[in-house]
Amino acid sequence: MTQSSQRPHRNFYGRLKGKALKQSQRRYLEEDLGSLSPGPVSWEDNPERTVLDTEALFGGRPVWLEIGFGGGEHMVHQAAQNPDVGIIGAEPYINGVAMLLGKIRRAQVDNVAVHPGDARDLMDVLPAQSVDRAFLLYPDPWPKSRHHRRRFVTAEHLEPLACCLRPGSIFRVATDIEDYVRQTLEQVPRCGFEWLAEHPQDWRTPWDDWISTRYEQKAIREGRRPHYLTFRRT
């Protein structure tokens, strides 16, 4: 089964690489990344956009997706706490990928897959309605008004995400940027999601299985309030 083989024009904004990697991190990339691939995702490796076999990838376990996993704290935490699911993470920032691989080694979790690239390319080849839960945690805020269209919470990203998610599945968004909250609450429901909050505590209180990330800790130190938004795919 294939999807469209016509590559769309996609601008990419943000960093792909930061400071020089440590020797151990280079070793993680060389030794571990290939075996943790979810399959052929890139346009070069999969020009026909053949969908991934997620059933084979995780042995029929439910599939979760983390979009932009940063340093990998949350992804590895969820994998360790939920061995009955498989988690795919997408992150183009190679330093973050290397950090995640080190955490995977130390935690010895085996229910993860890693795409070191654009989440849009990954969503191209995920089967329709194959994902049971998705996470968007402290995404790049793009604070300038003229850059808001670069945020993940736009139709360009949300519509393919909605296609990947099963009806009734959960989509979690965490951010410390109030304007990002506003845009999220405007755009996500337009793309097939329902916001589940009934009281202020529902978005002020972390999820029961939450682990605070380094991005969140920085936000708190700098006096910004985290928001925890939960949506359900309709």
Q: What is the 3-state secondary structure (H, E, C) of 29-64?
A: HHHHCHHHCCCCCCCCCCCCCECCCHHHHCCCCCEE
Work out the mean pLDDT of the chain and round it to a whole number. Answer: 91
What is the tens place of the pLDDT at every residue in 50-79?
999 999 999 999 999 999 998 899 999 999
The answer to whether position 12 is within a domain reads no
Contact at 8 Å (CB) between 70 and 90?
Answer: no
Q: Specify whether the backbone of 140 is left (phi greater than 0), alpha (psi in -120 to 50) or beta.
A: beta
> Is 13 part of any domain?
no
Q: Is the pLDDT of residue 1 over 90?
A: no
Host domain of residue 149: 23-233
pLDDT for residue 3 is more than 60: no
CATH number of the domain where residue 180 is located? 3.40.50.150
- Each residue of 158-186: pLDDT tens digit? 999 999 999 999 999 999 999 999 999 99
How confident is the model at residue 86, as a pLDDT?
98
Extract the tokens encoding 42: 């890139």
What is the pLDDT at residue 20? Answer: 74
pLDDT tier at 88 (50, 70, 90 boundaries)? very high
Confidence tier at 2 by pLDDT (50, 70, 90): low
- The reply to whether 14 falls in a domain is no
Answer yes or no: is 2 within a domain. no
Residue 96 lies in a domain: yes
Residues designated catalytic = 140
Coil, strand or helix: which one is 230?
Answer: strand
Size of the chain, expressed as the number of residues it contains: 234
Task: Give yes or no for residue 157 having a pLDDT over 70.
Answer: yes
DSSP code per residue over 70-108: TTSHHHHHHHHH-TTSEEEEE---HHHHHHHHHHHHHHT
State residue 26 phi and psi, 5-degree precision.
-60, -35
pLDDT of residue 211: 96
- Determine contact, residues 135/165, Cβ cutoff 8 Å: no
**DSSP, res 234:** -
Q: Note whether residue 92 is domain-resident.
A: yes
Residues 170/230, Cβ–Cβ less than 8 Å = yes
Residue 234 identity: T
CA angle 8, 13, 19 (to 5 degrees): 130
> Structurally, how many domains does the chain consist of?
1
Confirm whether 27 is domain-assigned: yes
pLDDT digits (tens, 9 = 90+) for 96-116: 999 999 999 999 999 999 999
Q: Are 88 and 113 in contact (CB under 8 A)?
A: yes
8 within some domain:
no
The predicted-structure confidence for 5-46, as pLDDT tens digits, reads as follows: 566 655 655 555 656 778 888 898 999 999 999 999 988 899
User: 196-214, pLDDT tens digit by residue?
Assistant: 999 999 999 999 999 999 9
